[in-house]
Amino acid sequence: MRTVCVYCGSSSRAAEQYFAAARDAARVIAERGLTLVYGGARVGLMGAMADEALRLGGRVVGVIPRALVEKEVAHTGLTQQHVVESMHDRKALMSELADAFIALPGGFGTLDELFETLTWAQLKFHSKPVGLLNTAGYFDGLLAFCRRAVEDAFIHPAHVDMIHVATGPAALLDAMDGHVPPETGKWWTRPGGP
């Protein structure tokens, strides 16, 4: 693992505990000599994380759609900033640049990025590890939903198990470093079912 893509919220109204978790994740990434890849914004958890990694001498690469640059939310002090044409281009380039993915608390955009990355892993488009930094139980409901989807046979248990979960960034990166992709494909049948 040399580059870690982090998905997280752009809201500046989130509670301080989430900002602290973003800065802590940035610190661990920078201390390990990993490159941080993220959505390129200067606001919210995204900006706090980038600022902390840069303050510690870390390498930070942003990927931001041109429409968001024009709204003046782009970070201007990054190691490298890629400006792309669409959100689709953003996700594709972040995926290409990253060796691993971590989701911190965030909203629809964070969940969109997380689920697309998980779907690509499920379809074997990549075999990179995916993790959740579960600050203050933020993702507990999401994990409960995933268990329900397994119970109702919409998701194979092995695909939920490929999501690494921890409350601290060091433990999460350690778990992800030993990632073994599931052998199970997306399409499977239940015992005794179609």
Tens digit of pLDDT at every position of the chain (194 positions): 999 999 999 999 999 999 999 999 999 999 999 999 999 999 999 999 999 999 999 999 999 999 999 887 999 999 999 999 999 999 999 999 999 999 999 999 999 999 999 999 999 999 999 999 999 999 999 999 999 999 999 999 999 999 999 999 999 999 999 898 888 766 556 555 54
In a domain, 44, yes or no: yes
Domain of 37? 3-170
pTM of the model: 0.93
Amino acid sitting at position 180: V
Pairing of strands 163-166, 130-133: parallel
Nearest-10 Cα torsion for 159, 175, 62, 59: -160
Question: Are 91 and 121 spatial neighbours (Cβ–Cβ below 8 Å)?
Answer: no
In a domain, 182, yes or no: no
In a domain, 160, yes or no: yes
How many structural domains compose the chain?
1
Domain with residue 22: its CATH number is 3.40.50.450
In a domain, 186, yes or no: no
In a domain, 183, yes or no: no
Element (H, E) at 163: strand 163-166
In a domain, 127, yes or no: yes
> Residue 113: is it exposed, middle or buried by C-beta count within 10 angstroms (0-12/13-18/19+)?
buried
Starting at the edge strand found earlier in the chain, the sheet holding 100-103 runs 80-84, 60-65, 35-38, 3-7, 100-103, 130-133, 163-166
